Structure 1
Amino acid sequence: MFQEERLISIVNYLKTNKRITVDLICELYDVSRDTARRDMVKLEEQGRIIRTRGGAILPTLSKEVWNYDERLQSEPSSKINIGKTAAALIQDGDYLMMDSSTTVLHAATAMNAKHNVVVTSSIEIAAILARKKDTTIHMLGGVLDNKHHSVYGAKAIEMLNDYHVDKLFIGTCGITEDGLSAPNEEDCYLVRAMMKHADQVIVLADHSKFGRRLFHRVVGFESIDILVTDQALSPEIKEKLLASEVEIVLAGGENEHD
């Protein structure tokens, strides 16, 4: 087996078994300890593993930060289905708040409710809602993030004090048993401020977000009311969500219960 084939196999083993040792690499691939160590050094240089005493684990911290167009192209069918399911939660006359998530964008696209008022930090969502009749849009002011097509900063947070809505729709970059996480502080501050001005917090997240932990923790599950996703959850994270009385809604399916 060539080294690159072994490296792929080692990473796949770690995805299932969480940890691998030098001795186990020797046993699985019939190589010397020196070869096993070289494999681990190579994987560490590539950022694919974290070396531990006598072995290795997968990194628990996700450092990828995609731009808006890249996020929009990620898991498009899942996001469309989640967006349609989330849009069905919107009633005529609801006052809403929407962040700049690309999954929330699909909820805005699928909206059929009438006479809604929407506060948003997303220039893309504002553009979509501008094409819908009987929808009033309030754009948050502040600094425009060219990479993510959204507004952020102290001015945006200050403006939120002027509003209160029935429902807040947000996305997330990562979900673990500790809650929601994001790659930068500005996202955290704005989302937390939005939560203070909404009666109900609805999180939209496709299956690729689960198990991803990013640098900044946004909130724990106790701060959200509904999670809309596209696949059944692991028993561990489902237990945590239900313990916090979060309603789990599967796109195109029934709600999950105990």
Structure 2
Amino acid sequence: MFAEERQEKIAELLKEKSSIKVNELSNIFNVSESTIRRDLQEMEAKGLLTRTHGGAVEVKKTNFEPTFEEKEDKKHDEKSDIGKLAASLIEDGDTIILDSGTTTLEIAKHINAKNITVITNSIDIASELSNKEDVELIVTGGTLRKVTRAMVGYLTESSLRNFRVDKAFIGSNGISLEEGITTPNFTEAQSKKAMINVANKVFIAADSSKFNNVSFSVISPIRAVTAIITSSDLDETIIKEYQDAGVEVITKEN
């Protein structure tokens, strides 16, 4: 197989998987890892991918933002597992913030703790919890972003500044050791920052596809979060990279 043909197939694999490792590609194409590294180097020079430690990820525009509906259909089983895992960290009597998002919505669906207070900027989470016993619900208000169904802006941030909570569960589009926690929209990033600023513990709830991605607006550096709750399909080498940097990564197997 010619290098051009192999690189074309690598690009196709990245569209399906978002990220892939050098040893996987070596096995798939039955060539040496050094050959694969040369392929990835050439593809990165052409702007077709971004190389990572031991592999590569699909190139995405930093301001790309899928709609709530598009995200809802993607990785649903993984998000459900994250939701159950995150909900298990909520204890009776807790005060928590649930950021808007498809993954945090799964947390709301699986809450079993009693006598808790939930603050949210999500109309979907508010609807989910509106009839749930043992949950005192506070909705921030703000300007509704239809693309993500999140309430954001001055009113949201002003409301959040009136509280101090035990735990905040934040969604993100990008997680990177170097660039931190990111999201495509600046205004939404400010609302997420306001949530982080009033929480004793901060958990990022995001599936594995968000790792080694970088979006336009910075929410926080990695060191500002307590832990990242993610899906069990995250590569072990990535988990080790984050743990070596002092970042706790929680998955179903943990």
Structures share fold, TM-score greater than 0.5: yes
Q: Secondary structure at the match of 1:163?
A: coil
Q: Which residue of 1 aligns with 2:187?
A: 186
- Cα deviation, residue 200, structure 1: 0.5
Percentage of matched positions with identical amino acids = 32
- The one-character-per-residue Cα deviations of 1:186-217 (angstroms, maximum 9, x if unpaired) are 12111111111011101111111112111222
Structure 1: how far apart are the matches of 2:244 and 2:204? 14
- The one-character-per-residue Cα deviations of 1:138-164 (angstroms, maximum 9, x if unpaired) are 111211111111100011101111111
Letter in 2 for 1:75: K
1:106-121 to 2 correspondences below 5 Å: 106-121=106-121
Q: Which residue of 2 aligns with 1:154?
A: 154
- Cα deviation, residue 59, structure 1: 3.5
1:147-226 to 2 correspondences below 5 Å: 147-178=147-178, 179-226=180-227
Q: Which residue of 2 aligns with 1:31?
A: none
- Cα deviation, residue 234, structure 1: 4.7
- The one-character-per-residue Cα deviations of 1:108-127 (angstroms, maximum 9, x if unpaired) are 10001111111101000011
Pick the structure with greater CA Rg.
1
1:70-109 to 2 correspondences below 5 Å: 70-109=70-109
Letter in 1 for 2:240: K
Aligned residues: 225
Structure 2: how far apart are the matches of 1:250 and 1:13? 25
Letter in 1 for 2:89: L
**Retained in 2: the 8 A contact 1:172–1:205?**
yes
Backbone CA RMSD of aligned residues: 3.0
Q: Secondary structure at the match of 1:211?
A: coil
Structure 2: how far apart are the matches of 1:219 and 1:159? 20
Q: Which residue of 2 aligns with 1:54?
A: none
- Cα deviation, residue 70, structure 1: 0.7
Distance 1:58 1:108, change over 3 A: closer
Q: Which residue of 1 aligns with 2:237?
A: 235
Segments of 5+ residues of structure 1 without an aligned counterpart are 25-39, 51-56
Q: Secondary structure at the match of 2:162?
A: coil
Q: Give the TM-score taking structure 1 as reference length.
A: 0.76
- Cα deviation, residue 227, structure 1: 1.4
Letter in 1 for 2:171: G
Q: Give the TM-score taking structure 2 as reference length.
A: 0.78
Structure 2: how far apart are the matches of 1:211 and 1:59? 10
- Cα deviation, residue 248, structure 1: 2.1
Distance 1:234 1:212, change over 3 A: farther
Moved more, 12-21 or 114-123: 12-21
**Retained in 2: the 8 A contact 1:61–1:212?**
no
Segments of 5+ residues of structure 2 without an aligned counterpart are 15-19, 23-35, 51-56
